[in-house]
């Protein structure tokens, strides 16, 4: 908050482990900026994460009179035009989106704060494009895994760093296992135990489909096998080549618990939050 109140431009990295509370810190900064008369842009790398942020932040800020909008490549053209107009007129206080918010038609009336979640997923030019949409815009970058360039900038004084060291109350220690390919029965037993306790499971593969060049597990084959073993009503497949609406529907079903096992790829690596998912299996890690 001191950075926001300062005459100097804020350039701060907020670093914390997954689930440590980076988003709620960002919400405080958003509300402080909006109540001071400025607009805020929150840029994230994927549509799934954008929708997740939208749902959470709207629930907190809309009752306080904050006007929020979601802008991604999947947003319908008529909706985009309306968002462009309301951003330019200053009606929208907060826009949450993907790379779509750095496009030329996006013009802000008074942009004061840019928040970049999973900042390591964006290039320097992309971040610069967004910052150029305002004057002396404050920057808050958030990441659990900052890239070497960001760390170097922090060391040499161009970035300030805030770290969240504590996890929320009740957060249990993560237990990791390494299982070889000849111990899959043990893996299936562990999965069944989680399902019987009412939890959900992520299964992550490095490839979407089978490859002649890479001898690695792929999501499509794993989906067929696990759907056969656990039942097709409990298992779903999610990857980056699917359409946005299809991905959104599958993710919503997983969030609401109708899907118990989600077979996926690295598309879910950035900030996707499903509290009931208590187990993650990563093949060929």
Q: What is the DSSP string of 190-207?
A: HHHHHHHTT-EEEEE-SB
Give the DSSP H/E element, type plus range, for residue 186.
Answer: helix 184-196
Q: Which residue has the tokens 């109350």?
A: 169
Walk along the chain (285 residues) and give the pLDDT tens digit of each residue. 666 767 677 888 888 777 778 889 999 999 999 999 999 999 998 888 888 899 999 999 999 999 999 999 889 999 999 999 999 999 999 999 998 999 999 999 999 999 998 766 676 777 778 888 888 898 998 887 665 555 555 544 567 777 887 776 777 778 888 888 778 888 899 999 999 999 999 999 989 888 777 778 889 999 999 999 999 999 999 988 888 778 888 888 998 899 999 999 887 766 567 889 999 999 987
* End-to-end Cα separation, the chain, in angstroms: 40
CATH of domain 2-164: 3.40.50.300
Selecting from 3.40.50.11390, 3.30.460.80, 3.30.200.20, 3.40.50.300, what CATH number does the domain 181-282 have? 3.40.50.300
Q: What is the DSSP string of 250-265?
A: HHHHHHTTS-SEEEE-
Domains 2-164 and 181-282 share a fold: yes
For residues 218 and 211, the answer to whether their CB atoms sit within 8 Å is: yes
Q: Could you tell me the CA-to-CA distances from 144 to 22, 164, 274 in Å, in that order? A: 9, 10, 17
pLDDT value at residue 156: 41
For residues 277 and 236, the answer to whether their CB atoms sit within 8 Å is: no
DSSP state of 32: H
Contacts of 216 (CB under 8 A, 6+ apart): 205, 206, 207, 283, 284
Question: How many other β-carbons are positioned within 10 Å of the β-carbon of residue 262?
Answer: 25
pTM given for the model: 0.76
Among residues 75, 70, 34, which one has the least CA distance to residue 52? Answer: 70
- C-alpha–C-alpha distance, residues 41 and 96, integer Å: 6
Q: Which two tokens stand for residue 109?
A: 């009336």
Residue 14 has, within 13 A of its CA and on its CB side, a CA count of: 22
| Residue 11 backbone phi and psi in degrees, to 5 | -140, 85
Q: Give the pLDDT confidence of 258-274 residue by residue, as tens digits.
A: 999 999 988 776 656 78
pLDDT value at residue 80: 95
- C-alpha–C-alpha distance, residues 76 and 175, integer Å: 43
- C-alpha–C-alpha distance, residues 249 and 154, integer Å: 39
Q: Give the pLDDT confidence of 87-104 residue by residue, as tens digits.
A: 999 999 999 999 899 999
Give the DSSP H/E element, type plus range, for residue 223.
Answer: helix 219-230
Q: Which residues of 90-111 are buried (b: 16+ CB within 10 A; e: fewer)?
A: eebbbbbbbbbbbeeebebeeb
Domain ranges of the chain: 2-164, 181-282
Q: Which two tokens stand for residue 60?
A: 């907190």
């Amino acid at each position: 908050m001191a950075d926001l109140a300062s005459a100097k431009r804020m350039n701060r990295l907020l670093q914390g482990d997954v689930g440590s509370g980076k988003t709620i810190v960002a919400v405080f900064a958003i509300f402080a900026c909006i109540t001071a008369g400025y607009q805020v842009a929150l840029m994230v790398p994927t549509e799934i994460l954008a929708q997740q942020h939208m749902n959470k932040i709207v629930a907190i800020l809309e009752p306080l009179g904050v006007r929020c909008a979601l802008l991604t490549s999947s947003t319908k053209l008529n909706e985009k035009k309306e968002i462009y107009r309301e951003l330019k007129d200053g009606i929208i206080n907060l826009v949450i989106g993907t790379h779509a918010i750095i496009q030329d038609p996006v013009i802000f009336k008074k942009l004061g704060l840019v928040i970049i979640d999973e900042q390591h997923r964006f290039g320097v030019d992309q971040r610069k494009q967004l910052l150029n949409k305002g004057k002396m815009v404050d920057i808050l970058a958030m990441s659990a895994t900052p890239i070497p360039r960001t760390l170097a900038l922090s060391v040499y004084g161009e970035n300030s760093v805030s770290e969240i060291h504590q996890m929320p109350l009740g957060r249990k220690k993560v237990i990791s296992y390494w299982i070889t390919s000849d111990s899959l029965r043990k893996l299936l037993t562990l999965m069944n135990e989680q399902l019987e306790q009412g939890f959900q499971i992520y299964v992550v593969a490095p490839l979407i489909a089978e490859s002649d060049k890479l001898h690695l597990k792929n999501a499509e084959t794993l989906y067929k096998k696990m759907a056969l073993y656990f039942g097709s009503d409990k298992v779903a497949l999610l990857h980056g080549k699917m359409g946005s609406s299809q991905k959104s529907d599958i993710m919503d079903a997983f969030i609401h618990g109708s899907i118990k096992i989600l077979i996926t790829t690295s598309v879910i690596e950035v900030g996707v939050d499903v509290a009931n998912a208590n187990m993650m299996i990563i093949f060929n890690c």
